[in-house]
Amino acid sequence: MAGLPMLSYGPVSGNSGPFFEDLAVGQEFTSPGRTVTETDIVIFAGLSGDYNVLHTDAEHMKSSLFGERIAHGLLGLSIEQGLASRGEPAAAHGMLSGLKWKFKGPIRIGDTVHVRSRIAAKKEGPDPTRGLVSVERELVNQLGEIVQEGETEHVVERRPK
């Protein structure tokens, strides 16, 4: 094969960062928005097996405080996790190791939510190659109301020596 240029793909399994060293306490991120649909709720009920009437019985919910079906709290959190990964490096590159979370208000069909996040703390990790990053997150609807909030903790690789 002499004469052919060598193709360079870089390390196949390598993490190209950002690394623990690239993240700074106080860094803030805003995710894109996403509209939560009836389809999201139906698929999530099927996947999770949580068929609570809050999420699945439109007639029952007409007479409820909410007036209609609402998204599962954990569906909101799952969407939050996906949105955060589309802009925030700790979520995109760090394994989730802990969560403290509050569900503050309903997410209704048709609501559009986005994530505001801020790196709150950096700590020693489980071993010398990794650190822990804590991120404060808020899930905000189209009216500016915080519908969920909390703190996530991620294990993030340090830059290889």
Judged by the rule CB under 8 A, the positions of this chain that interact with another protein are 13, 15, 34, 40, 43-44, 46-52, 54, 72-75, 77-79, 81-83, 85-86, 92, 95-103, 150
Residue 108 CB, nearest approach to another protein (Å):
14
User: In Å, how far from its chain's centre is CA 145?
Assistant: 18
Comparing CB distances to another protein, the nearer of 22 and 50 is 50
In the complex, the smallest distance separating the C-beta of residue 141 from another protein, rounded to whole angstroms, is 17
Q: How far is the CB of 101 from another protein (least distance, A)?
A: 6
Find all residues with CB under 8 Å of 56, minimum gap 6, and list them: 41, 45, 69
Closest CA to 109 of 145, 58, 148: 58
Q: Which is nearer to another protein, 2 or 94 (CB)?
A: 94
Smaller CB separation from another protein, 23 or 54? 54
* Nearest by Cα to 150 from 103, 90, 97, 86: 103
